[in-house]
Chain A
Amino acid sequence: MNAIDPNVAADASAFTDYLGRHEKKSLLRFLTCGSVDDGKSTLIGRLLYDSKLLFEDQLLSLEKDSRKHGTVGDDIDLALLVDGLEAEREQGITIDVAYRFFSTDRRKFIVADTPGHEQYTRNMATGASTSDLAVILVDARRGVLTQTRRHAFITSLVGIRHVVLAVNKIDLVGFSQAIFEVIVADFSAFAAGLGFKTLTAIPLSARYGDNVLERSLQMPWYEGQTLVEHLEAVVVDDDAAERPFRMPVQWVNRPNLDFRGFSGTIASGTVRRGDAVVVAKSGRTSTVKSIVTFDGELDTASAGEAVTLTLDDEIDISRGDVLSGTIARPEVADQFAAHLIWMADDPLLPGRPYLLKIGARQVTAQVTAIRHKIDVNTGGELPAKSLALNEVGVANLSLSEAVAFDAYAANRETGAFIIIDRLSNLTVGAGMIDHGLRRAGNIHWQALDVDKRTRALAKGQKSAVVWFTGLSGAGKSTIANLVERKLTALGRHAYILDGDNVRHGLNRDLGFSDADRVENIRRVAETAKLFVDAGLIVLVSFISPFRAERQLARELVEEGEFIEVFVDTPLDVAEARDPKGLYAKARAGEIARFTGVSSPYEPPKEAEIRLDTTSAAADVLAERVVAYLQEAGVIPGVEVTI
């Protein structure tokens, strides 16, 4: 294995052969999963130990740790090799995914060691997402457990098609063939519907090494391969190069005016010089002029290779676009149905705007409906309004713009996405696309006889959202009120959405947590959008502390319809005014999460209008807003008659 036979090392030409073989190895990524105490860490420790990947100082440190934390008496506790973090050495359970490496003459292996503890489903999904094969451990004494079913289900969900059922601790049941066969039959019955291409059952003892690397002398009845023999030989991905060509563009490479290349990792299929390619979203086509790499140009490149393509035509391509062949193109849609695995303590909230990253593209996305959640123990469907940590469900998602994708079952690279919380920036979910939804295209807004422009024209104006943001007590409502009075006096049609007022009705059910603040703004933004559609000038007066949500409100309406007004009042001035006595309460600790005091305010970077309330009176500032609306053509200037 990785360590070398001294005879080979001593012989220069044998050594050259050895290096040559190791340069030509392939790579297999697999994960190990199983219930607590099934012996995953021990098995990996065994693989490292038997493949002589341990060095003397690691062995010394292992012996020392075994005495301190070990659970197997005076023996070396192999699990301690892989349970990396201090906390888990003390608690005796693995709490995160660890990656391990070993290799044979034929293959290099990357092992994701994933925890079996019930609450850590997310870690298993994480390890599975980059693996091509799963080793599912079962304790021979306990047989197939609920958690075994869960692991098999998640393995299948994440698209792994090759499974090894490792019946461990076979030494503790007297190397019994009968017990082994009962477990295999149990598991096979359950796994039949999970779509595995190969299922290989191996009886083994990780602690003593039987059938791990070396064939067991204790089980003459077992004639199959050892675990390592199987891992070396199994073919896991025989058609990646033959499937339709996909390359998400990561980077546009423009070192000078003469070179414009599109860099990315080929997700599937093969591309050749001279091939016609299409930008999935725009439908524009061109021909591959060259396949550029540091090591020279290639005639052909296929799945897994990181390359740079140049094209014959100057077509518009940017990061996030997906290049494909002209036939068998990916789907393009702004709505799809997907399986989701939720990974955060805060539950998935339908309607909440999240970020979605698919390939090299990031868009805003909302879950519009949870169709059902899935009981991962039985595969059964259950009704659900949200998804909690470690829950799996099927949901419809709606994106801020269309993206190119494939069904996950057809392509793991272009069918997978992650969900990121806009506030905490944490990765909160993983998704696998089932199929696109086209219903959005069938709701014909344009089919209505009277549209937004007609309604606005009848009122002698253009629709707009004037969004006042600023600290509590900055003067937002005061100025918005004055603006409404002035607009009404000019015969225009405006309406104020005020933060406090809306919280008495529409948003009465919301508190002041970050999630509720987000939902508060989302509802107001959607309401403002409806009023814009009604042809009104909507004056929104909300603290709206987060840039992300203001951006969301901006994106809901058309370009030019959103006018952000930053009512800029320094915190000390607003606090000195304190018209509602709220700062005093917040400072006294009576109000939690008060903007500016105990919750952040993110000032706008590029507001259309900035009003400095320390430099002019409210009426003067309101005049400036009205003047802006005139200049922007939202309302007619004084000299124009309608």
Chain B
Amino acid sequence: MSKDRLTHLKRLEAESIHIIREVAAEFRNPVMLYSIGKDSSVMLRLALKAFYPGKLPFPLLHVDTTWKFREMIAFRDATVKAEGLDLLVHTNADGVAAGITPFSHGSSVYTNVMKTEALKQALTAHGFDAAFGGARRDEEKSRAKERVFSFRTDTHAWDPKNQRPELWRLYNSRVRPGESIRVFPLSNWTELDIWQYILLEKIPIVPLYFSADRPVVNRGGQWIMADDDRLPLEAGERPQIRRVRFRTLGCYPLTAAVESDAATLPEIVREMLIARTSERSGRLIDHDDSASMEKKKREGYF
């Protein structure tokens, strides 16, 4: 019966804590990418557990595109204060100066400049040799083959054909100067696991996950929230109030809302279980074709 001694969530939690401790012990200068979403919230909780009663032995890094939902930023700042965290915020100043926005340059250029390039800038500037990310293998096909410790060259590139074998719980943390490892402690969690853990552990998440009346416009069949007055409205277009929530959080112009009445965690989980659309479809960047995530990752996207 011992296999059933620990629940699957307890096992996943222990595995993640093990990974996080290993990184803190073996790397010179690790950082935890903090995206403010539900997966980041779970990852942060696991990190707090790993070092309790001590504090986190590494900072958090938020890559701020300047287009995040306002509620996300408020949540971020409140979390940092409540947990006494060391937070670094980086924005690609070149991108801002060049006037790159999701509207002016399209989602692909914008994502590359304000997310991928910004992330690389921050990692290089601080000389981080390990960066935690909250990605899960169940999110998408190319992620299913991602290692827990994923090697990146000194230009932050990922070569899917040249990954280090990963055996047992023995992670290889060796890098040369400039090279780094992306670490994914939530690799073996599924979306359902994440939600159940949030429910069980009462982990705070951004209120945008819960349904509420919000101002939205319909763009290509998807509900985009008018989070501030930077959203360019087409002639005659006016935001309408709809009862919506978000299954995933990112930049508001690129993250579609779904119509929903789910206002509590169990209702969200229930809705997820009967959902007919997979998680990342709320993110507009994946829609080009099914190999697009792999391409982005090779270029250094998380």
Contact with A along B265-287 (1 / 0, CB 8 A): 01001100111111001000000
Contact of B1 among A97, A110, A238, A358 (CB under 8 A): A238
Residues of B within 8 A of A57 (CB): 277-278, 281
Let me know if B138 and A427 touch, CB within 8 A: no
A413-B169 Cα distance, complex, nearest whole Å: 8
Given contacts A4-B273, A357-B172, contact A23 B167 (CB under 8 A): no
Let me know if B196 and A19 touch, CB within 8 A: yes
A132-B11 Cα distance, complex, nearest whole Å: 14
Given contacts A9-B270, A15-B270, A57-B281, contact A265 B1 (CB under 8 A): no
Residues of B within 8 A of A86 (CB): 142, 291, 294
Let me know if A238 and B165 touch, CB within 8 A: no
- Smallest beta-carbon distance A253→chain B, Å: 5
Let me know if A357 and B170 touch, CB within 8 A: yes
A295-B6 Cα distance, complex, nearest whole Å: 15
Q: Among A23, A84, A89, A240, find the residue whose CB has the most chain B CB atoms closer than 10 A.
A: A84
Contact with B along A240-270 (1 / 0, CB 8 A): 1110000000110111000101011100000
Is A6's beta carbon under 8 Å from chain B? yes
Given contacts A23-B200, A108-B193, A304-B11, contact A418 B5 (CB under 8 A): no
Given contacts A251-B25, A305-B10, contact A126 B290 (CB under 8 A): no
Contact of B50 among A3, A129, A263 (CB under 8 A): A263
Of chain A, the residue at the smallest CB distance from B17 is A306
A82-B137 Cα distance, complex, nearest whole Å: 12
Let me know if A430 and B167 touch, CB within 8 A: yes
Let me know if A19 and B199 touch, CB within 8 A: yes
Contact of A251 among B24, B196, B275 (CB under 8 A): B24
Given contacts A9-B274, A241-B2, contact A98 B294 (CB under 8 A): no
Given contacts A57-B278, A292-B52, contact A82 B144 (CB under 8 A): yes
Is B28's beta carbon under 8 Å from chain A? no
Let me know if B196 and A84 touch, CB within 8 A: no
Is A222's beta carbon under 8 Å from chain B? no
Q: Among A28, A303, A418, find the residue whose CB has the most chain B CB atoms closer than 10 A.
A: A418
A231-B67 Cα distance, complex, nearest whole Å: 46
Contact of A99 among B172, B176, B188, B275 (CB under 8 A): B188
A126-B171 Cα distance, complex, nearest whole Å: 12
Let me know if B14 and A96 touch, CB within 8 A: no
A65-B193 Cα distance, complex, nearest whole Å: 29
- Smallest beta-carbon distance A387→chain B, Å: 15
A351-B7 Cα distance, complex, nearest whole Å: 45
Residues of B within 8 A of A319 (CB): 25
Residues of A within 8 A of B193 (CB): 108
Is B53's beta carbon under 8 Å from chain A? yes
Residues of B within 8 A of A96 (CB): 145, 160, 163
A355-B174 Cα distance, complex, nearest whole Å: 10
Please report which residues of chain B, range 1-59, place their CB below 8 angstroms from some CB of chain A when the two chains form the complex. Answer: 1-14, 17-18, 21-22, 24-25, 48-55
Contact with A along B113-157 (1 / 0, CB 8 A): 000000000000000000000000110011111000000000000
Let me know if B275 and A55 touch, CB within 8 A: yes
Residues of A within 8 A of B25 (CB): 250-251, 319, 360
A493-B276 Cα distance, complex, nearest whole Å: 83
Contact of B2 among A23, A99, A240, A250 (CB under 8 A): A240
Is A100's beta carbon under 8 Å from chain B? yes
Let me know if A241 and B5 touch, CB within 8 A: yes
A125-B166 Cα distance, complex, nearest whole Å: 10
Given contacts A126-B166, A418-B170, contact A26 B161 (CB under 8 A): no
Let me know if A107 and B174 touch, CB within 8 A: no
Contact with B along A185-226 (1 / 0, CB 8 A): 000000000000000000000000000000000000000000
The A/B interface has a contact count, at CB < 8 Å, of 219
Is A426's beta carbon under 8 Å from chain B? yes
- Smallest beta-carbon distance A69→chain B, Å: 10
Residues of B within 8 A of A242 (CB): 2
- Smallest beta-carbon distance A602→chain B, Å: 10
Chain B interface, DSSP helix/strand/loop, else mixed: helix
- Smallest beta-carbon distance B177→chain A, Å: 10
Residues of B within 8 A of A298 (CB): none
Contact of A2 among B168, B172, B192 (CB under 8 A): B192
Of chain A, the residue at the smallest CB distance from B12 is A27
Residues of B within 8 A of A56 (CB): 276-278
Is B187's beta carbon under 8 Å from chain A? yes
- Smallest beta-carbon distance B9→chain A, Å: 7
Contact with A along B233-276 (1 / 0, CB 8 A): 00000000000000000000000000000000010011001111
Contact with B along A537-556 (1 / 0, CB 8 A): 00000000000000000000
Q: Give the total of B residues in contact with A, Cβ under 8 Å.
A: 70
A510-B266 Cα distance, complex, nearest whole Å: 67
Please report which residues of chain A, range 1-48, place their CB below 8 angstroms from some CB of chain B when the two chains form the complex. Answer: 2-4, 6, 9, 15-16, 19, 22-28
Let me know if B170 and A26 touch, CB within 8 A: no
Let me know if B8 and A251 touch, CB within 8 A: no
- Smallest beta-carbon distance A403→chain B, Å: 13
Let me know if B188 and A110 touch, CB within 8 A: yes
Is A445's beta carbon under 8 Å from chain B? no
Is A101's beta carbon under 8 Å from chain B? yes
Given contacts A19-B199, A86-B294, contact A293 B52 (CB under 8 A): yes
A87-B142 Cα distance, complex, nearest whole Å: 11
Is B175's beta carbon under 8 Å from chain A? yes
Let me know if A100 and B144 touch, CB within 8 A: yes
Of chain A, the residue at the smallest CB distance from B149 is A427
Residues of A within 8 A of B13 (CB): 306
Please report which residues of chain B, range 192-224, place their CB below 8 angstroms from some CB of chain A when the two chains form the complex. Answer: 192-193, 196, 199-200
Let me know if A27 and B53 touch, CB within 8 A: no
Let me know if A22 and B192 touch, CB within 8 A: yes
A9-B262 Cα distance, complex, nearest whole Å: 12
Is A529's beta carbon under 8 Å from chain B? no
A366-B175 Cα distance, complex, nearest whole Å: 21
Given contacts A3-B274, A239-B2, A420-B172, contact A253 B145 (CB under 8 A): no
A83-B22 Cα distance, complex, nearest whole Å: 30
Is B70's beta carbon under 8 Å from chain A? no
Of chain B, the residue at the smallest CB distance from A242 is B2
Residues of A within 8 A of B81 (CB): none
A358-B50 Cα distance, complex, nearest whole Å: 21
Of chain A, the residue at the smallest CB distance from B5 is A241
Let me know if A294 and B48 touch, CB within 8 A: yes
Let me know if A292 and B53 touch, CB within 8 A: yes
Residues of B within 8 A of A22 (CB): 192, 196
- Smallest beta-carbon distance A10→chain B, Å: 9
Contact of B53 among A2, A107, A241, A259 (CB under 8 A): A259
Let me know if B8 and A25 touch, CB within 8 A: yes
A265-B50 Cα distance, complex, nearest whole Å: 10
- Smallest beta-carbon distance A132→chain B, Å: 8
Residues of A within 8 A of B105 (CB): none
Residues of A within 8 A of B141 (CB): 81-85
Q: Among A64, A126, A358, find the residue whose CB has the most chain B CB atoms closer than 10 A.
A: A126
Of chain B, the residue at the smallest CB distance from A243 is B2
Let me know if B52 and A294 touch, CB within 8 A: yes
Contact of A413 among B164, B166, B168 (CB under 8 A): B168
Of chain B, the residue at the smallest CB distance from A4 is B273
Is B190's beta carbon under 8 Å from chain A? yes
- 21 A–B contacts, CB within 8 A, in A order: A6-B274, A23-B9, A23-B196, A26-B7, A27-B6, A28-B3, A82-B141, A85-B142, A86-B142, A96-B145, A96-B160, A99-B144, A100-B137, A103-B192, A110-B188, A236-B3, A251-B51, A255-B55, A302-B5, A357-B170, A425-B172
A interface residues with partner B (beta carbon < 8 Å) = 2-4, 6, 9, 15-16, 19, 22-28, 55-58, 61, 64-65, 81-87, 89, 95-101, 103, 107-108, 110, 122-123, 125-126, 129-130, 132, 235-242, 250-251, 253-255, 259, 261, 263-265, 292-295, 302-306, 308, 319, 343, 355, 357-358, 360, 412-413, 416-418, 420, 425-427, 430
- Besides A85-B145, A265-B18, 8 other CB < 8 A contacts? A26-B7, A58-B278, A82-B144, A95-B161, A101-B138, A126-B166, A130-B168, A241-B5
